[in-house]
A and B are shown apart, each in its own frame.
Chain A
Amino acid sequence: MLQQYAGIGAMLIIAIVFPIIVIAISSIVRPKKAAKYKYETYECGLETQGETWVQFKTNYFMYALVFVAFDVETVFLYPWAVKFMSLGTFAFIEMFIFIAILVIGFWYAWKEGALEWN
């Protein structure tokens, strides 16, 4: 099994090296110094005003929360799906209960407006 992951390791190394090579080649041929104003932050030609890294709205966080819960659910869902054929009806009902419990949470999030974008 580790053999296969060695292949992925080789891929990872190439995936890291390739962009670096591309940028290096580019650095040979590209002009070195650009006009002064090109180094300003782009804001449609105006000077940028105020802080960029400000406080964001809570909506994003709510989505991320529900996302994490469902992401963990997939971790349980996939092994179950693999063994679904051989495990019989009892396993199916177990999974049904598992999903049902999560759906209650999902329903609550829905009701409380956590999935509402405003």
Chain B
Amino acid sequence: MENINLFVLLANWLRQWLEGVGASPDVIEVVMDVFGTVGALVFILLNALILVLLERKAAAFFQQRYGPNRWGPKGVFQTIFDSLKLLSKEDIIPKAVDKWVFKIAAYLIFIPAILVFAVIPFGEGMIISDLNIGIFYFVAVASTATLAFLMAGWGSNNKYSLIGGMRSVAQMVSYEIPLVFSLVGVVMLTGSMKMSAIVAAQTKVWFILPQFLAFLVYFIAGHAELNRGPFDMPEGEQEIVAGPYTEYSGMRWALFFLAEYANLVAVCSIATTMFLGGWNPIPGLGFLPIPTYVWFVLKVYFMIMLFMWTRWTFPRVRIDHLMHFGWKVLIPVSLVNILVTGIGIKIYQWMGW
């Protein structure tokens, strides 16, 4: 592929410049890591800005309204002014809260949300740490996000928060199992947990074809993991105000919101990498001079649009139905998927293809 990758060029140029200046290898590595992280952070923040607007516009489209349309042409500056407003809002910590738990929860929600971006291949050669345990690292780090919800819910000392936090945790742990199991099929097909290897294995056939069932399970469980769409029980506005976020205000609340959208991008990026071929171009369109990271972002946004579509189409699911569906439908289905994938691979090997 002769596509020129701007970011890789930039990184190489920076590395060469540092070597030219005479920096030691340690310093170079640290600088490169920091630049990679800052790049990921900028990517997350930029996406959050776009996504909040996109979500509101999409919601407006589905409900036949205008959506935000005051600031800038068609309201494109809405989220920028919103974030400025949030920055200047009072930071209220109610008297009754457990101060440490309450405060740390807002910081803690952010850590897994950023850390998962370490293993996401944004484009050819654009991965911060191509770990050997790639996808398992994602699973492990993402699983700690539940803790922040638990701490926020418990620390607020508010009945709505506590109920919301507990529901949120119960829901997230229930749907984590099918989510994790659905990714096993892809690992079986690739024979590696390395993200670069998974992307490389999909140059010909995207894994959505042999693993369609897994993709479906991942897609549904993803909604529940993100507390979005039909599964937004934890913050069911009509029942428990705003769930675990009830007592948070100003920038602390904004951190939760930011982490939510960062997680949306992360889940969609993983879906893209695992099932939609990662940064590989659409088969047959590889001749186009489009850089790999543009392909990646296009696919991620396609996934995000699917998530938004379901969110604004389906009504909220009742909690007993939600748990029932997670445990008694998704987990058996994902187990069957692993079994079928295994048998399929064995048949494939026997046939000698």
Direct contact of A and B (CB under 8 A): yes
In the complex, 22 of the A-B residue pairs with CB atoms within 8 angstroms, ordered by the A residue number, are A4-B130, A6-B30, A7-B129, A10-B30, A10-B33, A14-B38, A16-B107, A18-B114, A19-B255, A23-B252, A26-B87, A30-B250, A34-B92, A41-B94, A42-B94, A52-B159, A66-B327, A70-B177, A99-B338, A99-B339, A115-B324, A117-B319
| Contact assessment for A115 and B328 in the assembled complex, using a CB-CB cutoff below 8 Å | yes
Contact among B88, B174, B327 for A30, CB-based, below 8 A: B88
Closest 7 interchain pairs by CB? A26-B251, A117-B320, A15-B114, A81-B187, A4-B129, A10-B33, A7-B33
Contact among B87, B192, B252 for A29, CB-based, below 8 A: B87
Smallest beta-carbon distance A106→chain B, Å: 8
* Residue B29 CB within 8 A of the other chain: yes
Contact among B111, B117, B342 for A16, CB-based, below 8 A: B111
Interchain CA distance A86-B160 in the complex, whole Å: 52
For B192, list chain A residues within 8 Å (CB).
82
For A43, list chain B residues within 8 Å (CB).
158-160
For A84, list chain B residues within 8 Å (CB).
188, 191, 342, 345
Given A48-B96, A77-B338, A96-B342, 4 more pairs with CB closer than 8 A: A7-B29, A8-B131, A60-B166, A78-B193
- Per-residue CB contact flags for chain A residues 1-36 toward chain B (1 = under 8 Å, else 0) read 101111110111011101110110111011100100
| Contact assessment for B250 and A26 in the assembled complex, using a CB-CB cutoff below 8 Å | yes
B residues whose Cβ falls under 8 Å from a Cβ of A: 29-30, 33-34, 36-38, 40-41, 87-97, 106-107, 110-111, 113-115, 117-118, 128-132, 136, 139, 143, 154, 156-160, 162, 166, 169-170, 173-174, 176-177, 180-181, 184-185, 187-188, 191-193, 241, 246-247, 250-252, 254-255, 319-320, 323-324, 327-328, 331, 335, 338-339, 342, 345-346, 349
Contact among B93, B111, B158 for A52, CB-based, below 8 A: B158
**A27-B91, A89-B346 are known contacts. Are A42 and B250 too (CB-CB below 8 A)?**
no
Interchain CA distance A116-B320 in the complex, whole Å: 7
Interchain CA distance A10-B128 in the complex, whole Å: 11
| Contact assessment for A67 and B177 in the assembled complex, using a CB-CB cutoff below 8 Å | yes
For B185, list chain A residues within 8 Å (CB).
81
Interchain CA distance A44-B328 in the complex, whole Å: 36
Smallest beta-carbon distance B305→chain A, Å: 28
CB interface residues, A 60-118, toward B, < 8 Å = 60, 63-64, 66-67, 70-71, 74, 77-78, 81-86, 89, 92, 95-96, 99, 103, 106, 110, 115-118
Smallest beta-carbon distance A101→chain B, Å: 13
For B170, list chain A residues within 8 Å (CB).
59-60, 63-64
**A48-B159, A82-B191, A118-B320 are known contacts. Are A18 and B41 too (CB-CB below 8 A)?**
yes
Smallest beta-carbon distance B182→chain A, Å: 11
Interchain CA distance A116-B131 in the complex, whole Å: 39
For B130, list chain A residues within 8 Å (CB).
4
**A27-B91, A38-B92, A52-B162 are known contacts. Are A10 and B187 too (CB-CB below 8 A)?**
no
For B252, list chain A residues within 8 Å (CB).
23
| Contact assessment for A96 and B339 in the assembled complex, using a CB-CB cutoff below 8 Å | yes
Contact among B33, B113, B169, B324 for A117, CB-based, below 8 A: B324
| Contact assessment for B90 and A85 in the assembled complex, using a CB-CB cutoff below 8 Å | no
Interchain CA distance A15-B107 in the complex, whole Å: 9
For A5, list chain B residues within 8 Å (CB).
129, 131
For B166, list chain A residues within 8 Å (CB).
56, 60
Contact among B29, B184, B241, B246 for A6, CB-based, below 8 A: B29
For A29, list chain B residues within 8 Å (CB).
87-88
